[in-house]
Structure 1
Amino acid sequence: MVITVGDSRIGKSTVIKLLIEIYQLRGKKIKVYDHDNRDRLLAYKELAVIERIDFFNKGTDRIFDDLVADDVDIILVDMPGQYIDKICQYIVQSELLEALVEYEWKLTFIQPISHRVDCIDYLNQIIQTTTNNANYVVVKNYHFAPEFREYESKIRKNLLMIGGTEIELAALHRNHYQAMEKTGKPYSQVCQNFSIILFWRSFIFQWIKNFRNSVINNNLAIKYLGLD
């Protein structure tokens, strides 16, 4: 089970989309639960089973049903932003960690970060809640800043000590990103979309490639994200 966490507008949905395509390339059978009501994953309906879910109301039992399903390799969960207290409360009250152990599933939290302090506080609280019962993958999102001083000085050392790892999401020009999103297609298909000029598509292609390489060239990320 891979759970994306982090502040709002930090790149969670972008990371999910990129991961869905990697899972598809690897032949993984995935199930995606999306808390967002803006249909940001609509373009990926043909690549994965995607269901909307509200983590703050009843109905999350569907996730537990998938733990015993034979047709699911990866459960990908997009948690809402700005609700870290409620998310940690959900994890504890639902006994999610205990259920995963019982059914022999592994849990990974993947969190994009920027230069903001809020990202560090968010990650700290997740780690304090789940400790060594989960794996942690930090995504350095260079869209927001060329460096991550708060992360480097306050939490990186501890994260690596408990076995966490890092991958990178390169910066993509805002115009290129918006053009890509407007197509309503999976990112990899945008590279063959002639409505976007070739020069922009080449940058998008390289951006996707860089993210995939960051994952595939990291043995811990491969393991934690269920790609081994």
Structure 2
Amino acid sequence: MTVGDSRVGKSTVMRLLIDLLCAQKKLIKIYDHDTRYKLAAYSQIVPIENIDFFRGGTDIMLEELKGNCDAIAVDMPGQYLDKVCQYIHKVHLFKLLNDYNWRLTFLQPISHRLDCLDYLEHLLDSFGDSADYVVVKNQYFDKQFSQYHRSEASQKLAVLKGSEVILKELNKYSYETVESLGLPYSAVSNQLAIYSVYRGYTYRWVKSFHSTLINNFTVKNYLGLNKSQQIEEYEYTF
């Protein structure tokens, strides 16, 4: 479940994760809780369903929990943390997940803003070791994240065995071009209409993030990725 403040890269991280799960031949289902439909480009490669948990959407997802999916991913809207927490407690989500032998991972990108740290700390305090946590340090906003590393949220994350990964900054012209064409990131390398240099930047950016996930044992486990395979098995053509 991607969570966090608005405009920190939640949907970007979700799209990158979908690409990797699909490359690993995982059977996945994606739920988009965000009204901006940032995942629309991925509907051509994986089932995506719009959902509103705050209006009874839990029942829809329960059917997937009973099925044979390898992973279920939910892209939540920005902010609304109190509402998200209230919903999870109200429907006893952790009990439901445990009944079907599932585990919830919160995937939270962060920027340079202190609001991100407040959000993360609230999340950790609300759910403790009932969930797993992966923080994505989005280098589009910052390179050092010094305030994060000095924060109580960072210390609490370590205590709860959460993990951190880095999402490197993508050249802004490459990002804008891909966004304007509405393509999955994994399809960019085959689009000759995109300047080769932009395709090259995007290729290396995607590969770097996927490598970061695959080579981190804790993150690999939390995100339902294959445990024994390395990133070299998921090369893209370019």
Q: Does 1:82 align with 2:83?
A: no
Alpha-carbon distance in 2 for matches of 1:65, 1:150: 41
Q: Does 1:210 align with 2:202?
A: no
* Displacement after TM superposition at 1:206 (Å): 0.5
Alpha-carbon distance in 2 for matches of 1:47, 1:168: 26
* Displacement after TM superposition at 1:145 (Å): 1.1
* Displacement after TM superposition at 1:5 (Å): 0.4
* Displacement after TM superposition at 1:61 (Å): 1.2
- State the partner residue of 2:176: 178
Q: Does 1:142 align with 2:171?
A: no
Q: Equivalent of 2:88, from 91, 99, 108?
A: 91
Retained in 2: the 8 A contact 1:115–1:147? no
* Displacement after TM superposition at 1:207 (Å): 0.4
* Amino acid paired to 2:124: I
Retained in 2: the 8 A contact 1:183–1:190? no
- State the partner residue of 2:233: none
Retained in 1: the 8 A contact 2:139–2:167? yes
Q: What per-residue deviation string (whole Å, max 9, x for no partner) do you get for residues 148-204 of structure 1?
A: 122111122221121100111100122210101112111111122111111111111
Alpha-carbon distance in 1 for matches of 2:121, 2:37: 29
Q: Does 1:128 align with 2:109?
A: no
* Amino acid paired to 1:129: S
* Displacement after TM superposition at 1:80 (Å): 1.1
**Secondary structure of the corresponding residue to residue 21 of structure 1:** helix
Work out the percentage of aligned pairs sharing the same amino acid. 45
Alpha-carbon distance in 2 for matches of 1:184, 1:76: 20
Alpha-carbon distance in 1 for matches of 2:66, 2:86: 24
Alpha-carbon distance in 1 for matches of 2:28, 2:158: 28
List structure 1 runs of 4+ shifted beyond 6 angstroms. Answer: none
- State the partner residue of 2:234: none
Q: Equivalent of 1:153, from 106, 128, 150?
A: 150
Alpha-carbon distance in 2 for matches of 1:66, 1:126: 25
- State the partner residue of 2:25: 27
* Displacement after TM superposition at 1:60 (Å): 2.6
* Displacement after TM superposition at 1:118 (Å): 0.7
Whichever structure has more helix as a proportion of its residues is 2
Alpha-carbon distance in 1 for matches of 2:58, 2:190: 38
Q: How many residues align?
A: 225
* Amino acid paired to 1:102: D
* Displacement after TM superposition at 1:9 (Å): 0.6
Q: Equivalent of 2:35, from 34, 37, 42?
A: 37
24-33 or 154-163, larger mean C-alpha shift: 154-163
Residue ranges of structure 1 left out of the alignment (5+ in a row): none
**Secondary structure of the corresponding residue to residue 53 of structure 2:** coil
Alpha-carbon distance in 2 for matches of 1:15, 1:222: 15
User: With structure 1 as the length reference, what TM-score do the two structures score?
Assistant: 0.95
- State the partner residue of 1:200: 198
* Displacement after TM superposition at 1:37 (Å): 2.3
**Secondary structure of the corresponding residue to residue 151 of structure 1:** helix
* Displacement after TM superposition at 1:57 (Å): 1.7
* Amino acid paired to 1:118: D
**Secondary structure of the corresponding residue to residue 48 of structure 2:** strand
